[in-house]
C-alpha cells in the first residue's frame, strides 16, 4: 500500500520533474495508457458479472467496490457533464471523487487481503492520485 509518506514523495518528485521539464507534455504519451485503461475497464466489467468471479471472496469485494465506483462516477458526471468520458480521472474538479475512491479502495484492501493486489495493481491506477491531481 502507498503510505502517506510515499504519496508525498511521489508528489514532490512529480512537481520537481514538472519544473525541470516545463515543456514536457504527458498527454503526448497518454494514448497507449488510455487504450490499456479502457481494456482493463472492459475486463473488470466482465468480471463483476461473472458468477465464477463473484463466488470468490475477492470477487465479492470487487463487485462492491465497482458498484460504489459506478454510482460515484455517475453522480459526479451527472452534476458536471464536463467530467464525463473519463475526464474525471485527471480533472481538478473531481479531486474529491478520486479521494473518495482512493479511501474506499484502500479501506477495502486493508480489510480484505484478497482484494489488495487487484486494488494496488489495477484499480488504484485508473486515475491520477488525488495528491497529484492536475
pLDDT of residue 59: 94
- pTM of the model as a whole: 0.72
Q: What whole-number distance in Å separates Cα of residue 3 and Cα of residue 18? A: 23
Q: Grid cell 495508457 — which residue?
A: 33
What is the residue whose three cell numbers read 467530467? 83
Return contacts of 93-98, CB within 8 angstroms, 24+ apart: 95/130, 95/133, 97/72, 97/73, 98/127, 98/128, 98/129, 98/130, 98/133
Q: Which three cell numbers stand for residue 45?
A: 466489467
For the chain, the domains span: 4-125
Per-residue pLDDT in tens (0 to 9) along the chain, 134 residues = 556 777 788 778 777 877 877 776 666 555 677 788 888 889 999 999 999 999 998 999 999 999 999 999 999 999 999 998 888 988 888 999 999 999 999 999 999 999 999 998 889 888 876 665 44
Give the length of the chain: 134
Amino acid at each position: 500500500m502507498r503510505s502517506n509518506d510515499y504519496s508525498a514523495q511521489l508528489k514532490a518528485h512529480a512537481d520537481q520533474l514538472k519544473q525541470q521539464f516545463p515543456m514536457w507534455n504527458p498527454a503526448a504519451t497518454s494514448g497507449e495508457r488510455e487504450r490499456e485503461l479502457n481494456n482493463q475497464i472492459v475486463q473488470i466489467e466482465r468480471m463483476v458479472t461473472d458468477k465464477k468471479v463473484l463466488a470468490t471472496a475477492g470477487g465479492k469485494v470487487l463487485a462492491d467496490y465497482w458498484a460504489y465506483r459506478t454510482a460515484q462516477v455517475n453522480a459526479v458526471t451527472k452534476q458536471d457533464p464536463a467530467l464525463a468520458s473519463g475526464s474525471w480521472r485527471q480533472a481538478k474538479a473531481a479531486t474529491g471523487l478520486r479521494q473518495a475512491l482512493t479511501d474506499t479502495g484502500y479501506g477495502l484492501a486493508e480489510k480484505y487481503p484478497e482484494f489488495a493486489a487487484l486494488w494496488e495493481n489495477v484499480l488504484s491506477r485508473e486515475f491520477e492520485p488525488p495528491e497529484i491531481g492536475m
